[in-house]
Amino acid sequence: VEYRDMLDENIEKTANDMFHGTAVSSIIVDGPRLNPDLDDGCGNFKVRHFGVATAKAFSSFSIIKMIREIISQNRDIHVWNLSLGSNDEVNQNFISAEGAILDQIQFENDVIFVIAGTNLSFGETIIRPIGAPADSINSIVVNSVDKDNQPSSYSRKGPVLSFFIKPDISYYGGDSRNLMKVCTPNGEAFVKGTSFAAPWISRKLSYLINILGLSRDIAKALLSHSSTGWYRQQTDQSLVGHGVVPIRIEDI
């Protein structure tokens, strides 16, 4: 992992600020060794990790501005994992400014974002709509399911603008019965959240694009297609999207 701190040097940082990003990176680098039951056959990946926010509240517009700058300076990276999002709900009538800018960035730079579908807050029981930038149309938005392929208890729902299917797909992000094992600055930890489902999809997408040489459109289509079956989906599409992506890369 190559780490680059993009935050102003005057912003005070604590050890807690490093927990989430390190955990996400550990899945991209070596997720199958941490979680053998999710061995996807994709191997290991290099990560260029950009610190754009602390664990506390952050300005989404500042982050989007940084993302635009980062991507313009790192043309060799095609797959970008964004495990962050707003606690507020997206508007039913228009795409968020953050989502629209990410769509523009992807179009102009031939890159693709994998975005976590955002989570309910601790103790929430009423399922709310997803938060920005998970309403980005061109990105792959990932929600979480449990081992039985049922929506996780913390999942938020789509669609976007009433007809765009969001989330696009779902994957395993840990739940109260089967937490996800990750590496943090303090060693091993067990977590759950859509933030930890997204990096597994980033691994698969990077394999399809960087190893097999597929275009981002074909790679995205393959992921969506592999998540669907021959029979009508019984699970609410607003919670799981097209379906759950297979674990093994050869099944995709």
- Per-residue pLDDT band at 60 (split at 50, 70, 90): confident
Residues 139-148 have pLDDT tens digits of: 999 999 999 9
Q: Which two tokens stand for residue 153?
A: 């208890």
- Pairing relation of β-strands 180-184 and 187-191? antiparallel
Q: How far is CA 194 from CA 159, 163, 237, in A?
A: 16, 22, 16
**Region label for 127, one of left (φ > 0), alpha (ψ between -120 and 50) or beta (otherwise):** beta
pLDDT at 128: 95
What pLDDT digit, counting tens, does each position of 212-222 carry?
999 999 999 99
Q: What is the pTM of this model?
A: 0.95
Specify the DSSP element, H or E, that contains 104: helix 97-109
pLDDT recorded at residue 140 = 98
Residue 137 identity = I
Question: What is the spatial distance between Cα 71 and Cα 241, in angstroms, rounded to a whole number?
Answer: 27
Q: What pLDDT score was predicted for residue 163?
A: 86
Residues belonging to the chain: 252
Q: pLDDT per residue over 147-195, tens digit each?
A: 999 999 999 999 999 889 999 999 999 999 999 999 999 999 999 999 9
Q: Which residues have C-beta within 8 Å of that of residue 232, sequence separation ≥ 6?
A: none
Q: What is the mean pLDDT of the chain?
A: 94
